[in-house]
Chains A and B, each alone.
Chain A
């Protein structure tokens, strides 16, 4: 080992730390100045314009949200609707029709749409490249109003807060069970969470396809999952280091957090569906969400059954943490629909849930049970099946 005290090779340590970066800058500068690859470069990068989504504020106009994913500026020269050249105006590019790399814009098309019909939109760039998007079963997007926010809050209360609270009412019954059955219920909860992890994970990858190309949606998912997993693990480890061991209440809060993040994503889906006029949220669907989410209640309170019963306000806190994010998610989804945000929230939920599953298994083992006993494995499986069965009711 070199002497690390003050200097190596006779220069200060900070110089050795910065030197590689300095050299890199010099190489880049030389490369740009001399362009040694000029002979092998051919053609230019392909233009890439993504149509992220289309709003139909009313039956007389369509608003196309676009982003330039390519490395070069792109000029939107003409717009076709149903294979007919049509009027348009581009907002958000500072007056011209050219999108800089990574620049976003709105193309406003005055067009008399008919609800329920498809409309094919084609953008033609200055060099004749075309980009397509089909508005499927056009439906007026309601726009942001106080009414909409109230409606979303009401839906959030029905599909998030109430079912989780009702599910938590199983707590007294769960308390009276033997440790063996309490462990089974903890694993049942883990099964529920495992299902949610897959559910949200698949959905994250689905929405990731709409994330602007330069951000790479799939890596946003990876970032979200790993980031959340490590963050929750770090917080958990820090708490464990302080308290000596992880308390049931702490795990209950972690479970509530994981479920809350999942419900936030659920709210995002509902909110953005509303914002895009995509879904008529019928009573059937609301009931489906309630049945689906009522199973989350016992999952939240299961870790508390072995310890002393905490004060009531904790139950309130747990319920709000797990259920209320549906409301927040709904608002975010309606206010600022973005596939990137949706993907990130879903991925964060998945990461948190994975960590909580691990935490539940540790809890069972620490209490003298075996997480992998036959009964517990069956309970885990039952949790997954119950979620699958109730999930059928909420397929949007």
Chain B
């Protein structure tokens, strides 16, 4: 039975992806014609998308269009641009000690505080948001979402920001920041940083512990946000501080027992990347975003980490080997390893986005600022823009195979925010 399920799952991903590409390419063609005379490009995906759509449940109708059935894989589903890999982004944290090659970073001590120093740029770039669909983006260090920063509570995060773009930009942190000059808005401190200026160095204390974000706060806001200037800041709880101030980390007013204190410290260690206990958990960053390709104030593509269906297409044996997708494939997770997802919503134009897990319920920590869940045993959570939280779930009881997770706005799911875990082991 299982191989059949894989095929159907893959077929659905493929069909949705084709339809999305075809729909957007039609629109892009209109703009191309408008701007440049001659050099027309044909909407190659259109026929495939329509035919697959006409196939219905059994694919009989697709036969006359040259399709064997609607479970057919084709290269049209591959991402050619390899400069950004959402699978790599998922688990890459820039701690100052290690991280991405594209982010210059270092760690040093200063006045008894750990400083994590990063070099940031802002520039215009192009990101691939669906196979063949290029989105003109504004990006930190050339990627959307920007690099994920990770620090421990109480550290100093120092970001030297060099704007290389014709538009002015800032970096605004969603942290408890006590100095308005460091707030990264046009009307405070250095204001918007333009390309002529010397780089500006932002300094923020990493607090409170949690799942946070940074983004550009220049005007117009909608453009600066949805063009891609956002990223995650993960602040790990400091176990020593948790032991001293346990009530900062729990929404609870009863007696603070030693057991509870120990439990909180243990949870803090599990969340802290410098503690060995953290290795037992598989941690991922999922930034829910959307892209308006045709300037109508509505997103044409939705994604987890920029690329539509990047964690989707699957023809797999359930043992971690896929066929059919090199750039597009599910996230492989071990059934006995707890999973922790730092979930952030940066979607513009829509009031909310959401995360729904199939066949399993999860614990959710709103903003990640507590060490006990704010919601337990739920399978759907919604977030407004800039809201974020931590999802903890595992598939320990489950049979190996594919388990979907996606936005439970069906529209967003069908427009790209549709993903799979492949549970192995």
Cβ proximity bits A93-123 to B, threshold 8 Å, 1 near / 0 not: 0000000000000000000101011111000
B297 contacts A by Cβ under 8 Å: yes
Instruction: Report if A136 contacts B (CB, 8 A).
Output: yes
| Assembled-state Cα–Cα distance A112/B294 (Å) | 18
Expressed in whole angstroms, the minimum distance between the Cβ of B294 and any Cβ of chain A is 8
A134 to B294, CA, bound (A): 12
> B133 to chain A: closest CB distance in Å?
16
Pick from B167, B219, B220 the residue with the most CB of A within 10 Å.
B220
Instruction: Give the nearest-CB partner of A282 in chain B.
Output: B37
What mask results when residues 275 to 286 of chain A are scored 1 for a CB within 8 Å of chain B, else 0? 000011110110
Would you call B34 and A84 a contact (CB within 8 A)?
no
Query: Which A residues touch B294, using CB under 8 A?
Result: 118
Is A83 at the interface (CB under 8 A from chain B)? yes
Query: B220, A84: Cβ atoms under 8 Å?
Result: yes
Asked whether A137 lies within 8 Å of B297 as measured between CB atoms, the reply is no
| B122, chain A: closest CB distance, angstroms | 14
CA distance A350 to B294 in the complex (A): 38
B35 touches A82 (CB 8 A): no
Tell whether B223 is near chain A: CB-to-CB under 8 Å: yes
Give residues 216-232 of B contacting A (CB, 8 Å). Answer: 219-223
For residue A112, which residues in chain B have a CB less than 8 angstroms away from its CB? Answer: 166-168
Nearest B residue to A136 via CB reads: B34
Q: Are A284 and B38 in contact (CB under 8 A)?
A: yes
How far does the Cβ of B118 sit from chain A's closest Cβ, in whole Å? 27
Q: How many residues of A contact B (CB 8 A)?
A: 24
* Contact call A59/B166, Cβ cutoff below 8 A: yes
In the complex, chain A residues whose CB is within 8 Å of the CB of B168: 112
> B221 touches which one: A84, A116, A120, A280 (CB < 8 A)?
A84
A120 and B37 within 8 A (CB): no
* Interface residue tally for chain B (C-beta within 8 Å): 19
Residue A19 is within 8 A (CB to CB) of chain B in the complex: no
- At the interface, yes or no: B42 with Cβ under 8 Å from chain A? no
Shortest Cβ distance from residue B228 to the other chain A in the assembled complex, whole angstroms: 13
Residue of A nearest to B297 (CB): A83
Residues from chain A with a CB closer than 8 A to the CB of B220 are: 81-82, 84, 86
Given A82-B220, A82-B222, are A120 and B297 neighbors across the interface (CB < 8 Å)?
Answer: yes
Determine whether A396 belongs to the interface, using a CB cutoff of 8 Å to chain B. yes
Chain B 378-403, CB-CB to A under 8 Å as 1, else 0, gives 00000000000000000000000000
Query: CB of B295 within 8 A of chain A?
Result: yes
Smallest CB-CB separation from B167: which chain A residue?
A112
> With a CB–CB cut-off of 8 A, which chain B residues contact A136?
34
Our pick among A119, A134, A285 for the contact of B37 (Cβ within 8 Å) is: A285
Most buried by B among A86, A112, A120: A112
Task: List A contacts of B222 (CB < 8 A).
Answer: 82-84
CB neighbours of A280 from chain B (8 A): 35-37
CB distance from B55 to the nearest CB of A (A): 35
Q: How far is the CB of A332 from chain B (nearest CB, A)?
A: 23
Residues in chain A near residue B375, CB distance under 8 A: none
A240 vs B295: C-alpha distance when bound (angstroms):
60
Chain B residues touching A, majority SS: loop
Docked pose: A119 CA to B296 CA in angstroms: 9
CB of A82 within 8 A of CB of B38, answer no
A396 is contacted by which of B37, B166, B296, B297 (Cβ under 8 Å)?
B37
B31 at the binding interface (Cβ < 8 Å): yes
- Mask, A256-292, CB within 8 Å of B = 1, is 0000000000000000000000011110110000000
Q: Which of B163-190 contact A (CB under 8 A)?
A: 166-168
Taken together as a complex, chains A and B put the C-alpha atoms of A281 and B222 apart, in Å, by: 34
Closest to B34 in A: A137
A240 to chain B, nearest CB (A): 45
Nearest Cβ distance between residue A137 and chain B, in whole angstroms? Answer: 5
**A281 to B35, alpha carbons, bound, how many Å?**
10
**CB neighbors of A among B16-48 (8 A):** 31, 34-38
Instruction: Known A82-B220, A82-B223, A82-B297; judge A137-B166 contact (CB<8 A).
Output: no
- A contact residues around B35 at 8 Å (CB): 116, 137, 139, 280
Chain A residues positioned under 8 Å from B223 (CB to CB) = 82
> Within the complex, what minimum Cβ distance (angstroms) separates B253 from chain A?
43
Point out which of B166, B223, B295, B297 has the most chain A C-beta atoms below 10 A from its C-beta. Answer: B295
A residues 293-310 with Cβ under 8 Å of B? none
What's the Cα separation between A120 and B167 when bound, in Å? 19
Known: A81-B220, A83-B222, A112-B167. A120 touches B38 (CB 8 A): no
Choice from B37, B296, B297 contacting A284 with Cβ under 8 Å: B37
**Cβ of B37 and Cβ of A279 under 8 Å apart?**
yes
Distance A281 CA – B34 CA, assembled complex (angstroms): 12
Among A59, A118, A281, A396, point to the contact of B295 (Cβ < 8 A): A118
CA distance A136 to B297 in the complex (A): 14
| A120 and B295 contact, CB distance less than 8 A | yes
Chain B nearest Cβ from A177, distance in angstroms: 38
B31 touches A137 (CB 8 A): yes
A residues near B219, Cβ cutoff 8 Å: 84
A255 to B222, CA, bound (A): 56
Residue of B nearest to A285 (CB): B37
Q: Which residues of B contact A116 (CB under 8 A)?
A: 35, 136
Residues of A within 8 Å of B167, CB to CB, are 112, 114
Please indicate the chain A residues that have their CB under 8 angstroms from the CB of B31 in the complex: 137
Q: Which residues of A contact B166 (CB under 8 A)?
A: 59, 112
Across the interface, which residues of B come within 8 angstroms of A81, CB to CB?
220
Residue ID in chain A nearest B221 by CB atoms: A84
B272 to chain A, nearest CB (A): 41
Given A59-B166, A84-B221, the answer on whether A117 and B38 have CB atoms closer than 8 Å is no
Output the least CB separation between B33 and chain A (Å): 10
Identify 5 new A-B residue pairs, CB closer than 8 A, beyond the known A84-B220, A284-B37. Answer: A81-B220, A82-B223, A84-B221, A137-B35, A280-B37
| Top-5 shortest CB links A-B | A118-B295, A284-B38, A84-B220, A282-B37, A285-B37
28 A–B contacts, CB within 8 A, in A order = A59-B166, A82-B220, A82-B223, A83-B222, A83-B297, A84-B219, A84-B220, A84-B221, A84-B222, A112-B167, A114-B136, A114-B167, A117-B136, A118-B294, A118-B295, A118-B296, A119-B295, A134-B295, A137-B31, A137-B34, A137-B35, A280-B35, A280-B36, A281-B37, A282-B36, A284-B38, A285-B37, A396-B37
